[in-house]
Amino acid sequence: MSSTPASTVQLQAARLDRGGRTILSALDLTVPAGSITAVLGPSGSGKSTLLAALTGELVPAAGSIELFGAPIPHGSRALLEMRKSMGVLLQGNGLLTDLSVAENVALPLRAHTKLPEPVLQALVRMKLHAVGLLAAADAWPRELSGGMARRVALARALALDPPLMLYDEPLTGLDPIASGVIMSLIQRLNRTLGLTSIIVSHHVRETLPICDQALVIADGRLVFAGTPAELEATTDPLVRQFLDGQPDGPIPFDAPQRAYGQETA
């Protein structure tokens, strides 16, 4: 019998390119099983590129990426099977407006299982109950607040019971109360369901309290990896500029200049 790997995600010397341009390089990082890891950094630093690599959408130009102790497969069928082991909460929720809340949550179950309808409906109710929205099962997405829509999207991401959850800017567009609810939910679900969670965000103060590990991406590389307490105590000028919201520092506000119409190398 094979043992469960101690790490859910492992990157070694990974380089991620888009359009012939290197976005992130020399990435060495480990996400322990059962942990919550925050991937922080300014807008445009490559956080979404990292997510694309973890889902198999983007193949690393160099180095390796492993999930659950095995390389990410490249074949379409094998990649689809691997993706069933991860849930992704999208920035824009991605709810289908012509389906009810319950049917949105049922969508992955209908697409990837052959469960009898009573069992499927029972699972949908369980997922909605887990995010506190069982009473909204028959509502339409347009009737939901921003925080409620985010929780429905979370219930749908959990529909197939994935051991790995990826959160892409889960607090975008939410007020402080809704943000607190989402962060509390992520922490509680991670603990009770035994998940491993990766939260990509630039909301430092809201994200750090629930995390076991913090990573900071900037300047095309991983500039910090450690505990939230170690991050708060760092004196690295680049990391401090991001944490303190300083307009001037190692991270430039303006994009690199190039001639109009010039192709990216």
Dump the DSSP string for 89-129. Answer: E-TT----TTS-HHHHHHHHHHHH----HHHHHHHHHHHHH
pLDDT confidence of residue 265? 39
User: What digits encode the pLDDT tens for the residues 128-151?
Assistant: 999 999 999 999 999 999 999 999
pLDDT confidence of residue 1? 41
pLDDT confidence of residue 106? 96
At 140, list the tokens: 């339409």
Which residue from 186, 116, 114, 182 is spatially nearest to 148, judged by alpha carbons?
182
> Where residue 45 falls among pLDDT bands split at 50, 70, 90?
confident
User: What digits encode the pLDDT tens for the residues 112-121?
Assistant: 999 999 999 9
At 79, list the tokens: 């990649």
The one-letter code for the residue type at 12 is Q
Domain map of the chain by residue range?
1-82+164-169+196-252, 86-161
Segment 15-26 mean pLDDT: 92
Q: Percent of the chain, pLDDT > 70?
A: 91
Fill in the DSSP letter of residue 264. Answer: P
pLDDT confidence of residue 92? 80
| pLDDT of 27 above 90 | yes
Pick the CATH number of 1-82+164-169+196-252 from 3.40.50.300, 3.40.50.10190, 3.90.10.10, 2.60.120.1030: 3.40.50.300
256 - beta bridge partners? Answer: none
Q: Mean pLDDT, the chain, as a whole number?
A: 88
pLDDT confidence of residue 43? 81
State how far Cα 53 lies from the chain centre.
11
| pLDDT of 4 above 70 | no
pLDDT confidence of residue 2? 44
State how far Cα 182 lies from the chain centre.
13
C-alpha to C-alpha distances, 237 to 60, 84, 213, 258, nearest whole angstrom: 29, 40, 20, 27
pLDDT confidence of residue 174? 87
Q: How far apart are CA 89 and CA 138, in angstroms?
A: 21
More confident residue, 172 or 156: 156
More confident residue, 187 or 91: 187
Segment 150-159 mean pLDDT: 94
More confident residue, 81 or 254: 81
| pLDDT of 234 above 50 | yes
pLDDT confidence of residue 202? 85
Kindly report the pTM of this predicted structure: 0.88
Segment 215-225 mean pLDDT: 91
Contact partners, residue 112, CB within 8 Å, separation at least 6:
84, 160
> Where residue 244 falls among pLDDT bands split at 50, 70, 90?
confident
